[in-house]
A and B are shown apart, each in its own frame.
Chain A
Amino acid sequence: MGEVKVLGSWSSPYGLRVQWALGLKSVEYEYIDEDLLNKSQMLLKYNPVHKKIPVLVHNGKPIAESAVILEYIEETWPQQHPLLPKDPYERAMVRFWINFLDNKDKVAPFITFFIGVGEEHKKAVNEAKELLKLYEEQVLGEKKYFGGEEIGMLDLAMGWMAYFGVIEEIVDVKILDAETFPRLHAWIQNFRAHPVIKKNLPDHDRLLQNYTEKRQRFLAYSPHTENA
């Protein structure tokens, strides 16, 4: 169905969402990895407004913003592995939660968990746990996946949780533990085990090394760093 390109970044959950969606629908694509510290001319041409990944290019026409791209993929390849329910109300609920978890205020606690220290870090831990509780109890509930019996669009949006363990390893603090969040924990195992997802998960060791370096850089420049 024409030529598909994805501009992404190996560890970005936003880019991975797009790759996973295409994989689930068995759509072939060319993947182009972007160095976000040295953005390509192609990226700047295809996403002049935000200059960010992911960008999907279909038959030469670019689409930016992961949530927008996912809707496009669902509409363009509707038959294989549908990612949205048919009922308009249920679709509205999926969109609500994707919008919710992508909101910068809802992402912030997890970022601060990674690079914050002291009081700021403690506060982030609490906020993150509140959010995880909401996701576990109200959004996932008793279901196997957020999408029900099969992986849906909301599962892909929640995909960052699938490798959050590496962040916890680096920070040496566990918040997404099996005892407190048994359902999310089970979800992570199921999600990671799916053949399409398994093929496209960032390498653990590479994440560990890369993110450890990233964290060290942030802590070195942070005005809040507590002196050892």
Chain B
Amino acid sequence: MAGELVLLDFWPSPFGMRSRIALAEKGIPYEYREEDLRNKSDLLLQMNPVHKKIPVLIHNGKPVCESVIQVQYIDEVWHDKAPLIPSDPYQRAVARFWVDFIDKKIYELGSKIWKTKGEEQANAKKEFIECLKLLEGELGDKTYFGGESLGYVDVALVPFYSWFYAYEKCGDFSIEAECPKMIAWVKRCMQKESVAKSLPDQEKVYEFILQLKKVFGIE
């Protein structure tokens, strides 16, 4: 069932991290290939001609693009190990709803926090915290969004933690001060090897953002 598995990825990508975590949770061996996004490989362009983006999961030569689709695919193919998506249809729908919410809001708002200044940045910060608070509400008293074990929403959200330090420095605010429950949840996730090994160091991500700001001419 495993066959040949390759993940085309880029180390700071929170989307790539999702697939890394899913594969690690299930103990599935794969080849990780780092892409230079300023010089995309022929393989990447061939495997994802529509978007030309990472991550791309290549299974037995066939590409699966888009991180949420990859995580669902991984869960369906290796369904007997560490299931990520709940088995109850309603719980699945709830999980899918929140992953869709995370995809619509978190990355874009986070990007605005490090890319902009003044009022635009202030609005982005405010909305970002509001979104995290909504997610805290959904987490409730559970250990993870998935209950007692890591689930689909956890895998989709926790990668953004590696960017929190960068957001905080650029936006001059503390995410932990505003959303302590969220950070408590993050810390529980980070105790899992699958998560800890899949997320890069926050300082490294911050340095990367600073470089990007230079390249884009952002103050």
Q: Is the CB of A71 within 8 A of B93?
A: yes
Which of chain B's residues have a CB closer than 8 A to the CB of A81? Answer: none
**Majority secondary structure, A binding face:** helix
Please measure, in the bound complex, the distance between the C-alpha atom of A64 and the C-alpha atom of B97, giving whole angstroms: 7
Q: Is the CB of B90 within 8 A of A68?
A: no
Stretch with Cβ within 8 A of B (4 or more), from A94-102, A114-122, A185-193: A94-102
A127 in contact (CB, < 8 A): no
Which of chain B's residues have a CB closer than 8 A to the CB of A76? Answer: 89
Which of chain B's residues have a CB closer than 8 A to the CB of A63? Answer: 90, 93-94, 97
Please measure, in the bound complex, the distance between the C-alpha atom of A72 and the C-alpha atom of B50, giving whole angstroms: 28
Stretch with Cβ within 8 A of A (4 or more), from B12-20, B32-40, B68-76: B68-76
Stretch with Cβ within 8 A of B (4 or more), from A85-93, A198-206, A215-223: A85-93
A65 in contact (CB, < 8 A): yes
Q: Is the CB of B69 within 8 A of A99?
A: yes
Q: Is the CB of B69 within 8 A of A65?
A: no
Which of chain B's residues have a CB closer than 8 A to the CB of A91? Answer: 72-73, 76
Please measure, in the bound complex, the distance between the C-alpha atom of A210 and the C-alpha atom of B196, giving whole angstroms: 54
A61 in contact (CB, < 8 A): yes
Count, chain B residues at interface, CB 8 A: 23
Please measure, in the bound complex, the distance between the C-alpha atom of A76 and the C-alpha atom of B72, giving whole angstroms: 18
Q: Indicate whether A49 sits within 8 Å of B93 (C-beta atoms), given known contacts A88-B77, A89-B64, A92-B73.
A: no
Please measure, in the bound complex, the distance between the C-alpha atom of A18 and the C-alpha atom of B170, giving whole angstroms: 42
Q: Is the CB of A96 within 8 A of B93?
A: no
CB closest residue in chain B, given A100? B50
CB closest residue in chain A, given B70? A92
Instruction: Give a binary string over B91-103; 1 marks a CB under 8 Å from any A CB, 0 the rest.
Output: 0111011001100
The 10 closest A-B pairs by CB, nearest first: A75-B89, A88-B76, A72-B93, A68-B96, A92-B73, A63-B93, A95-B69, A92-B64, A76-B89, A88-B77
